[in-house]
Amino acid sequence: MNGLKKKGRFDLNKEVVPACDIKHKDSIEGLACELIRMEATTSERINASIGYCAEWLRQRGLTITLLENQGLMSLVCIVNEEREGPTIILNGHVDVVSAASEDFSPRIEERKLFGRGSYDMLGSVAAMMHAMVDLSKMDLLVKIMLCIVPDEERGGFDGTGFLVDQGYRGEIAICGEPTNYKIAVQAKGVLQLKMEVSGIAAHGSRPWLGENAILKAMKYCEAIEAIEQIQKTNLFFTRPSFNLSKIEAGKGINQVPDQCTFHLDIRYLPGEEVSEIIEQIQRAAPDANLEILAQGAPVLTDEGHPYVVQLKQVTEHFLNRKIEFFGQDGTADTRFYANYGIPAIEFGPVGAGHHGPEEYVEIESLYSFKEILKLFAINLVKMEE
């Protein structure tokens, strides 16, 4: 693809292996390379990537359902659909953030797969797809539902949000986000605001005759950051996140600005009510016009839930080391499952640099991730017997 020529047989022991050497039909890393090359940053390319995943799974005997919403495709594949046991949801997104064209040319160096989306989270998607093939050959009581979605990086509403509302739910949801094997049982909620502050215009040489809207907005920002809900802590977070991300104001350097618009990105802790946060913000900035641009609930999954404990134990046994629970500062598609009371966690392979030019995932961790998912399904059967 993309004009690359095949040069030889893939060998993980080489220090550097050009991506075009990979036998994509037979390896997790090869499948991940194909998905990286899709450059899934637009609706057309995202849909092409979903279609590629669907055909890959069909060729291996699995049944696929494709659903369209707002011009975007989502894929659902269920193994053991006729069984009465619990349903494990494996969730992965193929959309990636934009990058330079060279970032979509995957390469392997020192057993690491580099490329945009390799870690977040095309490596996980490829591992989940391989796990589904293996699980389809096992006689298990549990059902496994793979959901491959198109828009997590843009909010997830048209992908996972749509699927969950359509009834594609289960007893536990595992989103294969990059976590280095740690298990995220909490995630901050998101509240993104646009606020407009008015002042009084005056000549720049006589600022005391006016009211500077920028200075007024800065005072409001300080007051908002100081409210109780944005100072709290819990076991997994030292505090919420507060980011003044954009300011628009001023018409001339010799004029006191009479209008200032600023944007806030607030990530609040699980257990907090967004309505109370908004009320406190309005008290801190009483005459500001407030517009909610985006809102997403936090995730608060019980780390003592039997299925969550089972995943932790399986992972620790397989890796022969302790695994930590933690909280994610960012938001993910887990929140859509949490909204329905489904225990949802983020759990994925090892890597670094996601959304950056040197993003990579460790290849060995992709195979371990696949095996852990399989063992989790097998052991969940034993729990239900």
Q: How far apart are CA 294 and CA 116, in angstroms?
A: 26
CA distances from 40 to 53, 129, 371 (A): 13, 18, 27
Q: Give pTM, 2 decimals.
A: 0.88
What proportion of the chain, given as a percentage, has pLDDT over 90? 86
Q: Pull the structure tokens for residue 159.
A: 């992908």
Kindly report, residue by residue over 49-91, the tens digit of the pLDDT. 999 999 999 999 999 999 999 999 999 999 999 888 899 999 9
pLDDT grade for 351, boundaries at 50, 70 and 90: very high
Kindly report, residue by residue over 281-303, the tens digit of the pLDDT. 999 999 999 999 999 999 999 99
Q: Pull the structure tokens for residue 255.
A: 């004029």
CB 67 within 8 A of CB 162: yes
Q: Tell which wins on pLDDT, 5 or 314.
A: 314
Is residue 8 predicted with pLDDT exceeding 80? no
Is residue 2 predicted with pLDDT exceeding 50? no
Is residue 11 predicted with pLDDT exceeding 50? no
Q: How many CB atoms lie within 10 A of CB 150?
A: 28
Q: What are phi and psi of 69, to 5 degrees?
A: -150, 125
Q: What is the mean pLDDT of residues 179-187?
A: 98
pLDDT grade for 380, boundaries at 50, 70 and 90: confident
Q: What is the mean pLDDT of residues 265-277?
A: 94
Q: How far apart are CA 140 and CA 310, in angstroms?
A: 17
| Planar angle of CA 173, 153, 350, nearest 5 degrees | 60
Is residue 341 predicted with pLDDT exceeding 90? yes
- The confidence score (pLDDT) of residue 24 equals 54
* Domains with residue ranges and CATH for the chain: 16-187+299-384 (3.40.630.10), 189-296 (3.30.70.360)
| Residue-averaged pLDDT of the chain | 91
